[in-house]
Amino acid sequence: MAIAIEVETARGAGHIDHGGHGHSEHPPTSTGLDSRKMLMWLFLASDCMFFGTLISTYMIYRNRAIELGTPPYPNEIFDIPYTSVSAFVLLMSSLTMVLALSAIQRGDHRGLRIWIAATALLGAIFVGGQFFEFTEFTHEGLGLSTSVFGASFFVLTGFHGAHVTIGVVWLLSILFISLRGGMPAEKAVDVEIAGLYWHFVDIVWIVIFTLVYLIPYADGPEGVVEEAPHAFLRLVTVGERFLAALPF
């Protein structure tokens, strides 16, 4: 009887230890999703409100420099072709991020390193291009204290650039860990979480690029009144063209 109790106790202890080990690797959640992924979604939701506030503020004050007659005006300094190339570079980084996640899920460590490095490089190119653009705008006379337009523009695009910079550092850390052999296929969720953040940054830039650069501005103080009724129509036209270009 004592022997049977000892055997059952040993079995129970072994079962508890095994369950404890499994619990540390895959913590159960009520949703069945990884708790870190849920936390990232929560952070992105809060970041949506943050950028929503910045974008709303910019849209309110986008024509204030023109109304007050305080140059430089947006249409005098914005270089749409240059910014379009920067936007394309950042959007292409979403593709390389998807390829990096696919590689680690297949256990292709070489592919992970190549595509993660490519994503970080594209992000760094975007940040470098934004820094160059800011420098040119400063030389043209636009700054944080120049006008309400300048302040709202630099705060909005600057915070987005900071998000991209954080993402680049994050991706480089994943690359470093992978090079040291610490990124097996079982940790693909770590790359997936980084991918969620990166795709969010790209989507935010699509919104910023459309609202800040693509919607035309008035040519001067006298054109603000006559330009305002057509701004919404131009935005609708841009949206229709974008939807028409989608493959589905």
Whether pLDDT at 234 is above 50: yes
Query: Which whole number is the average pLDDT over 156-174?
Result: 96
CATH for the stretch 35-214: 1.20.120.80
Res. 240 pLDDT band, cuts 50 70 90: low
pLDDT at 4 over 50: no
Local structure of 79: helix, strand or coil: coil
Domain boundaries, the chain: 35-214
pLDDT, tens digit, for every residue of 42-61? 999 999 999 999 999 998 88
Structure tokens that stand for 69 in this block: 């007659």
Residues 114-146: tens digit of each pLDDT? 999 999 999 999 999 999 999 999 998 888 888
Question: Both tokens of residue 198?
Answer: 């990166």
What value does the mean pLDDT take over residues 225-238? 49
Q: Where are the alpha helices (DSSP H) in the chain?
A: 2-25, 35-61, 64-68, 74-77, 80-105, 109-139, 148-179, 188-208, 224-245
Cβ contacts of 67 within 8 Å, gap of 6 or more? 221, 224
